[in-house]
Amino acid sequence: MPESANDILIFGAGFGTRMAPLTETTPKPLIEVAGAPLIDHAIGLARDLALNIHVNAHYLADQMVAHLPPTITTHVEYPDILDTGGGLKSALPKMHGEAVVTLNSDAVWSGPNPLGILLDAWRDDMSALLLLVPVEQTVGYARKGNFILGQDGSLSRSPDGQVYTGAQIIRRDVVAAHPGRVFSLNAVWDRLLGEGKVAGVTYPGRWADVGTPSGIPLAEAMLNV
């Protein structure tokens, strides 16, 4: 594991509107898949690699705080939700190292630990490294691709490419330098893409998008539950 990326932020602050009505009373990260909340699936991946775990929360944050153990650093976004970039930026002061891992909590995986794939591919001269999966290896995903991966590992945006899985490593300084308090990581990537500083790596297993109620049984079937 590179010493420059020892912290992970698992995103758990969203409203989960696509997961309604399940999220009317429960935050999406606490929706269960295969007998465990989504956030616990994500935490398990990070624990396997001994990463320092951070989780952000906003919607129904009291439930998230009650669920998470004290060994995990919880960042409650209040009063405003900060989006992915803003949420990461606000959490940076409690992190260390030159880079940080981020992971969306609304997915499950079948295959090797995706965070291990990222960490093995990371180089300290990278600004961002995104984990992708071919569309044919997705489950419950009905949208188009996001990025084309070049032979040299560089990325360019394209709906005909692979799907961004919600897992990445990104340098802390490029997030900290982005202006504003509320912004998407897409805005950071756009600048880095223009400078040719975003790389990608392909996940060899299968990835299930659990963004809607219909995605739950599909994900469980992928996990053979």
| Ranges of each domain in the chain | 7-222
DSSP assignments along 121-183, one per residue: H--TT-SEEEEEE-GGGEES--S---EEEPTTSBEEE-TTSBEEEEEEEEEHHHHHTS-SSS-
Segment 132-166, tens digit of pLDDT = 999 999 999 999 999 999 999 999 999 999 999 99
User: Which phi and psi angles does 170 have, rounded to 5°?
Assistant: -140, 145
Q: 3.30.390.50, 3.90.550.10, 3.30.70.100, 3.30.460.80: which CATH number matches 7-222? A: 3.90.550.10
Alpha-carbon distance of 225 to 9, in angstroms, equals 28
pTM score of the predicted model: 0.97
pLDDT level of residue 4 (50, 70, 90 thresholds)? confident
For 17, the token pair is: 């509107």
